[in-house]
Amino acid sequence: MKKVLIIIFVFISLIFSLVYTTDHSNKKIEDFFKMQKNISYLISTNKNFDIFMSSSISYNNFDVIQKDIFKIKDILSQIKKSNYFDKELIAFKSDFLQIDDLFKKKIKTIEKLKSTSAVLNNSYRYIQTIYEKLDNKVFNTIYTRIIGLEFNSEIDIKKLQNQVNSFKVKDNTEKIFLVHAKNILQYFEKFQKQKQDIEVLSLNKKLDEFEKNFNDYSNVFIKDIKTVLWSIIILLSSSLVLFLFYYTKIAYQKIQLNRFKQAVENSDNIIMTTDYHQKIKYVNENFIRHTGYTYKDVIGKRASILKSGLNSKKFYKDLNKTIYSGKRWYGEFVNKIKDGKLSYEKTSISPIFDEKGKIIEFLAIKLDVTKEKNIEKELKEKEHLLSQQSKMIALHEMLDSIAHQWRQPLSTISTAASGMRLNKEFDSLDDKTFYELIDSIVDNTLYLSKTIDSFKTFFKTNHENTLFNIKNTVNKVLDLIGYKFNENKVEFISNIKELNIEGLEHELIQSLVNLFNNSQDAIAKNLNKDDEKFIFLDVYDDNENVVIKIKDNAKGIDEKIIDKIFEPYFTTKHKSQGTGIGLYMTYEIISKHFYGTIEVNNSTYMYKDKEYTGALFTITIPSKKDDRNK
């Protein structure tokens, strides 16, 4: 911008100098032509003088020549007054002074010439009259010679004078004739001398030379003026070119800027700039669309009008600290739009600096993530619901298990108690029987109490990670559902390495319970009563991972659905039996809480020289906590 100003300044000053130079040159040229006119006037008037000199002796109106004399004097004094040859053309000064001097001399001589010619004119005229009256013919020759003087330059005046002087006059007429003849000769001599004096001055030549030199000078100074003018014109045009160059550059920048502006205007992001004090300076169209505010509502207002109050004070403090220190800030606003709805905005705020590095503006680019937030929230709610459902199922299962496991001891206790009563009534209660029955009641009660402990562990909704032994965990699982294996005549074959895992034990228990239940359900469904039924559990460590493999011999999972079994609400069981949550919850627990993986495939294997096929679930859990955090 500064450059453009400088160019404009240079441009204007060049124009001024051009105008000044032109004006100055004009004056110079004007002066020159004025002087030239004066000089040519001097020359032409000088020619008038020469014409006057060379004209024959006769009557004259001396006013005519006097006018020329006045004019010459006037011009010469004008030139002197103008100081033209003192300032402009000092080189010509001496020549001019010489001409001035010559003119003075010439004029002086012309003044004399006037008198002389007047005298000659009169004597010439009068001598003719006198001659007519003369009788003596001796005067003939002298008369003709005198008359012819003017036209015959070869006549010797001195000789004539001698002749005239030698005449002896007889009468008055002759005397007058001779007086006039003498007068003519005397004045004619004077006349010629005066003419000669003027010729000697050779003013003509001098003037012509002067005029020539003066005109030559004009070429020099016109050339000078031309040079100056041309250089100014060249400078002017080059600065014009420079100006145009910068102008196009600026125009190009403007186009670029406009392009960016368009991009910002039409961006899908919400873009807003504020001044240093966070007063809104600009918002793009998407802002208007998104917030429902009009430009008038927000321009000039503080950015805090968008606050919902759901971000903490610390949040804003951190934000301000970051941006005012000149750094970029990233974060997520919970703002409020015009109709009061919340808006989640993923935002980056960048400070914008001037040339000196001072913050002048802030640029906020926001992405509206409200939709995503809502989906996430919904998902979370759904997950919570699922987990509740799975808990309920688990509870149901436990109750089932309790009912099952307690039925036996309770009936034993009940039988023992009623046996004691009967024996007492029949008085057949001997001490041996009494103690046998009491022992049986106590044993069974203890067993009940022990199973309650197991259940308690299962329902302990501890949310803190603990380090637990996988073998104990498996035992706990067996405590819970081991009875089912017996009922269904499932042979449980386990090979468990003693390993420790950190995490929520009850969740792993739940997962294992789910998997064992599924296996049992598959066995019940796919195998006959008389078939041998197996569930294998292998736990070992492999490359810092704990690997848990659960395998059955229930012929495997239909390949068509094997990819979908971890999806929520997917079930192969009858509605009354399955909810479709178990495997989904297991997947969630392993992947999200233990940072592990769970895979499933159908496996065909040999056991005791017989071939079996069944589903194989492989759980891989990183044994170190660090690995889980990756």
- Residues found near another protein in the complex (CB under 8 A): 56, 58-63, 66, 69, 73, 108, 111-112, 114-115, 118-119, 121-123, 125-126, 144, 147-148, 151, 176, 179-180, 183
Q: Kindly give, in sequence order, each residue whose CB lies less than 8 Å from that of residue 457, ignoring residues fewer than 6 positions away.
A: 476, 505, 506, 509
Min dist. Cβ of residue 104 to another protein (A): 12
Task: Kindly tell me which of 179 and 236 has the beta carbon lying closer to another protein.
Answer: 179
Min dist. Cβ of residue 76 to another protein (A): 12
* Helix spans in 202-335 (H): 203-265, 285-291, 295-298, 313-324
If one counts every other C-beta atom within 10 angstroms of the C-beta of residue 504, the result is 20
What type of residue is 477?
V
Task: Kindly tell me which of 57 and 616 has the beta carbon lying closer to another protein.
Answer: 57
- Beta-strand pair 533-542/490-496: parallel
Rounded Cα–Cα distance for residues 597 and 621 (Å)? 7
Task: Kindly tell me which of 180 and 551 has the beta carbon lying closer to another protein.
Answer: 180
Task: Kindly tell me which of 172 and 528 has the beta carbon lying closer to another protein.
Answer: 172
Min dist. Cβ of residue 91 to another protein (A): 30
Min dist. Cβ of residue 62 to another protein (A): 4
Sign for the CA dihedral angle at 543, 462, 498, 566 comes to negative
Closest CA to 474 of 503, 447, 511: 511
Quick one: angle between helices 203-265 and 2-54, nearest 10? 160
Q: Are the C-beta atoms of 124 and 151 separated by less than 8 Å? A: no
3-state DSSP percent of the chain in helix, strand and coil, to 5:
65, 15, 20
Min dist. Cβ of residue 147 to another protein (A): 6
**DSSP classification of residue 265:** H
Task: Kindly tell me which of 62 and 217 has the beta carbon lying closer to another protein.
Answer: 62
Min dist. Cβ of residue 156 to another protein (A): 18
Task: Kindly tell me which of 176 and 228 has the beta carbon lying closer to another protein.
Answer: 176
Task: Kindly tell me which of 139 and 344 has the beta carbon lying closer to another protein.
Answer: 139
Closest CA to 434 of 422, 449, 447: 422
Rounded Cα–Cα distance for residues 552 and 422 (Å)? 48
Min dist. Cβ of residue 232 to another protein (A): 39
Rounded Cα–Cα distance for residues 494 and 516 (Å)? 12
Min dist. Cβ of residue 155 to another protein (A): 12
Min dist. Cβ of residue 193 to another protein (A): 10
Min dist. Cβ of residue 175 to another protein (A): 10
Task: Kindly tell me which of 24 and 67 has the beta carbon lying closer to another protein.
Answer: 67
Task: Kindly tell me which of 143 and 210 has the beta carbon lying closer to another protein.
Answer: 143
Q: What angle do CA 129, 131, 136 make, to 5 degrees?
A: 155
Rounded Cα–Cα distance for residues 491 and 536 (Å)? 8
Min dist. Cβ of residue 41 to another protein (A): 20
Task: Kindly tell me which of 62 and 316 has the beta carbon lying closer to another protein.
Answer: 62
Q: Kindly give, in sequence order, each residue whose CB lies less than 8 Å from that of residue 506, ignoring residues fewer than 6 positions away.
A: 457, 458, 459, 460, 461, 462
If one counts every other C-beta atom within 10 angstroms of the C-beta of residue 536, the result is 21
Min dist. Cβ of residue 202 to another protein (A): 22
Task: Kindly tell me which of 108 and 384 has the beta carbon lying closer to another protein.
Answer: 108
Task: Kindly tell me which of 59 and 426 has the beta carbon lying closer to another protein.
Answer: 59
Task: Kindly tell me which of 55 and 374 has the beta carbon lying closer to another protein.
Answer: 55
Min dist. Cβ of residue 65 to another protein (A): 8
Q: Are the C-beta atoms of 359 and 328 separated by less than 8 Å? A: no
Give φ, ψ of 344 to 5 degrees. -95, 125
Rounded Cα–Cα distance for residues 470 and 488 (Å)? 25
Structure-block tokens of residue 29: 């040229």
Task: Kindly tell me which of 194 and 401 has the beta carbon lying closer to another protein.
Answer: 194
Min dist. Cβ of residue 161 to another protein (A): 16
| Host H or E run for residue 549 | strand 545-552
Closest CA to 513 of 362, 391, 332, 355: 391
CA 9 to chain CA centroid, Å, is 26
Q: Are the C-beta atoms of 332 and 367 separated by less than 8 Å? A: no
